[in-house]
Structure 1
């Protein structure tokens, strides 16, 4: 590994070293640190044929789990977006990147940058994480329900644009209105809109997809379930059963 160290030292403007942790596994000693002052732990393993694997041996996600859980679809999406945008692989919680010798140093810097981003996921504002719910819902609707020609940001009462439907299906006949809800504000807007449509004697069916039940108080849950025809309590449930449900609704409504 002396040759590898010399190459890294030539390319690196900072002090860098290698320490053998076990046979064929070398820890990179380089001054990049977590917020608490601990050095970022990165390892290099020769794979042969001029290839090397840069890995964290699962330490990044283990460290993150002490203060933050990737326990929702939105958090998973953020995590996967971070690592995939830098071509980092995830194998059972172990992050790694394979690279050739001539690209070892830039790949190492890229990998360390990803480690620091993942380690700081707990600093993401809740609003940012929640906002991804609507991106996920949008992707699902236009990918899996495109055959029903969904209309986004639909206004059943053209003169009253404040009453908006996130997605409308079957708009030329009896429509199905789909609402996304991720907090009490969007829940109450959905309730008010559906009540207004009923007062105006519109014919429609209403479906609401919650980010999760935890995003609403029990009172808001009760009000919402009274106001709409169908509630999916989790986005993951809508992913699993939403296509069949919308298909049945469309067949009934004609």
Structure 2
């Protein structure tokens, strides 16, 4: 056990080094890297109390910005995850800088905790499929609000229609012929949207419909075919923002 401990400590210490960068500040080089191969930015600044401020000088958020609009961390699903990560690792932020302050005798644990936090924050650009689906609706809502403003109704249902609460519409835009918009991120939502559209048509509701897919080609062909037949129009993905705005303008002007 002692030999193993000695081997592990030697191996780990060989992969970690300190470089003085001026003003009593040190750069901590570790084996941990971002996806582009750059090392994690971990710096140590001595505090007047004798402890240490462990900081990234804002470089983690800079790397994250390569793959993600940083403003999306201010609200919605990503914001909740971001705040949860900060809380769990005791991290604080200041104008994009991530940091944690620790007493001198807790420096090693602080560095490990800081590194774990950086890893999880950087992984926000690589969200799991489930979380990506959640952010898809946040992103769609944001785009629609930019286009429609106060004219957008969220989680709408047709008043006066029997069991209307059982047939929710993601977004509705009032016009001579209302436009109902459904966000579709997976097979199950494609099937639900098809059922709702068919129910509305069966009950002679006057409307136009627009389907916005997270990824149209990820939906099985049979489900895609049924939904295409039921809907008036569709957008393959949110990458087609110009098409989305044009189709909304055309549909609400009719």
Which interval holds the TM-score relative to the shorter structure?
Answer: 0.5 to 0.7
How has the CA–CA distance of structure 1 residues 141 and 112 changed in structure 2, closer, same or farther, with 3 Å as cutoff?
A: same
Query: Equivalents in 2 of 1:131, 1:20: separation in Å?
Result: 42
Task: Tell me the secondary structure at the aligned position of residue 159 of structure 1.
Answer: coil
Pick from 218, 229, 235: which aligns with 1:226?
A: 229
What is the match of residue 184 of structure 1?
A: 187
Asked if structure 1 preserves the Cα contact closer than 8 Å seen for 2:68 and 2:125, the reply is no
Alignment size in residue pairs: 204
Q: Which residue of 1 aligns with 2:43?
A: 44
Distance 1:33 1:202 in 2: 58
Q: Which moved more, 1:133-142 or 1:199-208?
A: 133-142
Distance in 2 separating the partners of 1:168 and 1:126: 26
SS of 2:56 mapped into structure 1:
strand
Residue 27 (structure 2) aligns with: 27
Are 1:156 and 1:163, in contact at CA under 8 Å, matched by a contact in 2?
Answer: no
Separation (CA, whole Å) in 2 of partners of 1:156 and 1:120: 43
Query: Which residue matches 2:196?
Result: 193
TM-score with structure 1 setting the length: 0.59
Q: Secondary structure at the match of 1:131?
A: helix
Residue 239 of structure 2: which of 215, 236, 242 is its match? 236
Q: Deviations over 1:143-183 (max 9, x none)?
A: 43125343533236631232221112126x42111111111
Which residue of the partner structure matches residue 7 of structure 2? none
- How has the CA–CA distance of structure 1 residues 44 and 227 changed in structure 2, closer, same or farther, with 3 Å as cutoff? same
Distance 1:98 1:190 in 2: 42
Instruction: Say if 1:229 and 1:143 are closer, same or farther in 2 by CA, change over 3 A.
Output: same
- Asked whether 1:116 is paired with 2:119, we answer yes
Quote the RMSD (CA, aligned, Å): 4.7
CA contact (8 A) 1:178 1:209 kept: yes
Structure 1: distance between partners of 2:221 and 2:182:
19
Contact 1:97 1:111 (8 Å CA) reproduced: no
Q: Residues 195 and 150 from structure 1, CA distance in 2 versus in 1: closer, same or farther, beyond 3 angstroms?
A: same
The alignment's TM-score, normalised by the length of structure 2, stands at 0.59
Task: Tell whether the 8 Å contact from 2:18 to 2:26 is kept in structure 1 after alignment.
Answer: yes
| 1:205 equivalenced with 2:208 (yes/no) | yes
1:165 and 2:164 matched = no
Shift of 1:113: 4.8
Query: 1:105 offset after TM fit, Å?
Result: 5.9
